[in-house]
Structure formats: structure tokens, C-alpha cells
Structure 1
Amino acid sequence: MLDISPIVLLIMAVTGFVTYKGLNDYSFFYKYCFDIDAVRAGEKHRIFTAGFLHVDWMHFIFNMMTLYFFGDYLMNSVGIVYFLLIYFVSMLIGNLITYQMYHNKTGYRAVGASGAIMGVLYASIMINPNMMLGIFFIIPIPSYLFAVLYLLYSVYGMKQQNDNIGHSAHIGGAVAGLTLILVKYPVLIEMHPLLLGVMLIPILLLFVLFKKGKL
């Protein structure tokens, strides 16, 4: 059993409370979810608050388990302040990219902390590419492979657009987390150039698909 810091526990608790409130009170959920029409009308707070809501408990558990496994490792590596910077900047960048991609799509809504989680995941993997993750706590898989597959799934989710999960925020969060960790430790570019290239594949795929109008 991994130890968990008060900071990570607090993030999980606040996210859990907001998710619980949103799942039991639709008016609350609607007030704070990422709704493109509301954001365009000036409700900019949704870019932040959507990162604390989830579409269901499985969505919440998946995100918080990833935070549980990687949050303290990243915090111990970069310090509390920079960890919080990565978490919340990844959340905001993820939703800002979502806004840029869907600002003309009336009725688009999405929620999830996945932008922040992907930022933490990508930053952690760049520091330690050898970390392993147990899928369903049984099947071992390299964490970088998990991250790449998850982002590829996110690209697929963006094409389907049928689950109200902010898949585009996953991509934005990964970009933010990767950028921030490389800003802090630029030597990682020289240490892990192949890893960096592999982790950029889903991001480049997204860019190509977006440019071709296939998203």
C-alpha cells in the first residue's frame, strides 16, 4: 500500500465531494461543467470547475487511482509548489484547448480531471520511464505505454464525442505536463529522446487529424 500525502489526499477529497454533488444535483452539475455556450457567454469559471466533476464514479475512480499512483512520486521529485503548478496548469490548458477546438460547436459539454491527471502522468514518466503500472492491478505494463495508449484512446473518444468526457483535455494536459517538466529539467530531453518521441505520437496524430478536419 502506498503512502499518500495530505496534498494529494485533499485534491482527491475535494474532487470526490464535487463529483458527488454533481452526480446528485443536475443543476449543480450544469452550473459548473464545461459548457461551450456558457463559456462563450462569459462563464469562464467553468474552464476550471469542470476539472472537479466526473460523468460517473468509474470515471472518477480511474482518474483518482492514477493520481494515487503517480501524484506523490511527482511531488517528491519536483516539490509541492511545482506539483500543484503542473496539476492545475495541466487542468486549465486542457480545458483551454478544448475551448479552442470546440468553440464553434453549440451544445458541447464535457467534464473530468483527466487533463490534470495526464499532466501528472506525463511529467512523472519523463522523470522515471521505468515505472510500471498494473492494469486492473494484475497485468504489468510500462507506464509510458499506458500513457500513449490512453491518449490514443482519447483521440478516438474525440472522434466519437458520445460520453461527455473531455478527451481533448487529456491531450492538452499531457502537453502541459510534458512542457512543464522539461522546462524544470531540460536535461531530460537529452536523457530520454526516444521516450519523448514516443510520447509525442498521440499529440502529433491529434494535430494532423484536427488540421484535416477529421475531429
Structure 2
Amino acid sequence: MGKLDLVTMIIIAANVIISYKGFSDYSFFEKYKFQVGSVQRGEQIRLFSSGFLHADTQHLLFNMLSLYFFADVVIDLLNPFQFSLIYLGSLLLGSLLSLYFHKNEYHYSAVGASGAVSGIIYSAILLQPGMKLLFFFIPIPIPAYLFGIGYLLYSIYGMKNRIGNIGHDAHFGGAVGGYLITLILSPWLFKTNLLMVVLLAIPIILLFGLKKMGKM
């Protein structure tokens, strides 16, 4: 993992350029960030534009490094065009889930590529569930599918308990986008990786089950 395909370079460059414009131009940042009230008034561009803005350099760096490490898995097993569809589709799904969960909070706002990046990470895990992930704070490699399930379960917990200044719902929505779009583009996964397809669906079913029962 970790090579730079042209499409990955273009996406990273767009995030850097737009984010740095937002860092130095408050009115630009306010005009294009995700905000429930503004989207409901018809400014749907914010559903996409907010995914290229970031709160600060650290936020930007974390998202772009995460994208860098997982992008080539998706590009190699699919292709650059399909990778772009997953990235943009996950970005949109992340914003739409945020809108769904915060529809009555007119001043709720968010920025960041986390939804899109979550979609790419979940897509990579679905395509290559056996890959091992290493983290600084865990001394042994973690199977990708366990990370994916744990990540979404933590996102549900974060959404329910409003943990930190983090858009857990955008992360979750992006991961759902990555999951669904990857399956649409790669139906062969139902034959080759059916167990993983089912396992990775469990947190998604859980979230909407909790929502239906009024526990979210």
C-alpha cells in the first residue's frame, strides 16, 4: 500500500488547495461548509464542498494520510474511475446521513473528507479483508475486517453519545457508501467473499435497527 495514482494525487491536491483557501478566508469557509439549515434552504453544493474543507492542518493531514494508505488497494482491484465513484459517492452518503440525523439542528455544521475516506477504507477492506493493519498503539497486526467492524461499532457509539467534536455520522455514512457502491461495482464479491459481505453489514443493520427503535 501507499503509492500515488494520478487520481489520488488530484483528490489530495483538491483537498489541500480548497482547505488552505478556507483556512485563510473565513467567508469562503462559511459559504461552503456543511450546515443543516443552509442545505435545507437549497444550498446542496455544501453536501460536496464541505468534504474538501478541513478544520485545520492536522485534520487535513490525518485524512489525506488515511486516503494515501488505502487508495491503491481500491484502484488496483477496481480502477481509477470506480475509485472516484466510491470516493464521491461516499462523501455524499456521509453528508446525507449527517443531514438525516441532524435535520432538526439547523446550526449543525461539519467539514472534512472523513466520510469519503471512510468509504475508501471500507471498500478496501471489503475487497481485501485478509490484509493486516498496523497501529502505533497496538503491537500486533489487526485483520482488516475486524478493524472495519470495530470502526463502525465505535462510530455508532460516538453518534449515540456525541463523543468529541467528530462527525461520527459522516464517517458511518461514508463507510456505508463505500460498502454499497463497491458491491454494486463488484458483484463477484458475493461469491468470493460472502462471509465478509455479511459480517461487514452487521454494524450497518444495527445502526438502522437502533434508529427505528428510537435509540439513536
Judge same fold: TM > 0.5, yes or no: yes
Segments of structure 1 that go 5 or more residues without pairing to the other structure are: none
The match for 1:150 is 151
Whole-angstrom CA distance in 1 between matches of 2:57 and 2:144? 23
Does residue 55 (structure 1) correspond to residue 58 (structure 2)? The answer is no
Please identify, of 122-131 and 145-154, the stretch whose mean Cα deviation from structure 2 is larger: 145-154
Classify the secondary structure of the residue corresponding to 2:44: coil
What is the Cα deviation at residue 138 of structure 1? Answer: 6.8
Letter in 2 for 1:177: G
Matched, 1:98 2:90: no
Contact 1:90 1:119 in 2 (8 A): yes
1:136 is displaced (CA, Å) by: 2.8
**SS of residue paired to 1:123:** helix
Q: Specify whether residues 164 and 109 from structure 1 end up closer, same or farther in structure 2 by C-alpha distance, changes over 3 A only.
A: farther
What's the offset of the Cα at 1:178?
1.4
Q: Distance in 1 between matches of 2:47 and 2:20?
A: 19
Distance 1:173 1:129 in 2: 18
CA distance in structure 2 between the aligned counterparts of 1:212 and 1:26, rounded to whole angstroms: 40
Q: State the shift of 1:212 in Å.
A: 2.6
Q: CA deviation at 1:137?
A: 8.6
The structure-2 alpha-carbon separation of the partners of 1:146 and 1:101, relative to structure 1 and needing over 3 Å to count, comes to same
Alignment of 1:135 with 2:135, yes or no, is yes
2:38 is matched with 38
Q: 1:89 to 1:37 in 2, by over 3 A?
A: same
Secondary structure, in 3 states, of the residue corresponding to 1:118? helix
User: How far apart, CA to CA, are the structure 1 residues paired with 2:159 and 2:23?
Assistant: 23
Q: How many residues align?
A: 215
RMSD: 2.1
For 2:112, what is the secondary structure of its paired residue?
Answer: coil
Measured after TM superposition, the shift of residue 189 of structure 1 is: 1.6
Give the C-alpha shift of residue 153 in structure 1: 2.2
Q: Which residue of 1 aligns with 2:22?
A: 22
Going from structure 1 to structure 2, the CA distance change for 1:93 and 1:148 (only over 3 Å counts) comes to same
Deviations 1:58-85 (A, max 9, x none): 3323322221111122112211111111
Give 1:3 shift: 2.3
Distance 2:151 2:192 in 1: 24
Unaligned runs of 5+ in 2: none
Q: Which moved more, 1:73-82 or 1:15-24?
A: 15-24
2:47 & 2:88 partners in 1: Cα distance? Answer: 11
Which letter does structure 1 place at the counterpart of 2:129? P
Instruction: Look up the SS of the partner of 2:72 in the other structure.
Output: helix
SS for the counterpart of 2:106 is coil
The runs of at least 4 aligned residues of structure 1 exceeding 4 Å deviation read none
Give the match for residue 168 of structure 1: 169
Aligned residues with identical type, % of pairs: 46
Segment drifting more, 29-38 vs 95-104 = 95-104
2:81 aligned with 1:81, yes or no? yes
Deviations 1:115-160 (A, max 9, x none): 2112111221122111122213974222222222222222222224
Query: Contact 1:55–1:165 at 8 Å: present in 2 too?
Result: no
Asked if 2 retains the 8 angstrom alpha-carbon contact of 1:55 and 1:164, the reply is no
The residue aligned with 1:107 is 107
**3-state DSSP of counterpart to 2:133:** strand
Question: 1:155-185, CA deviations, whole angstroms, 9 ceiling, x for partnerless residues?
Answer: 2222243644332122222222112221222
**Length-normalised TM-score, structure 2:** 0.89
Partner of 2:118: 118
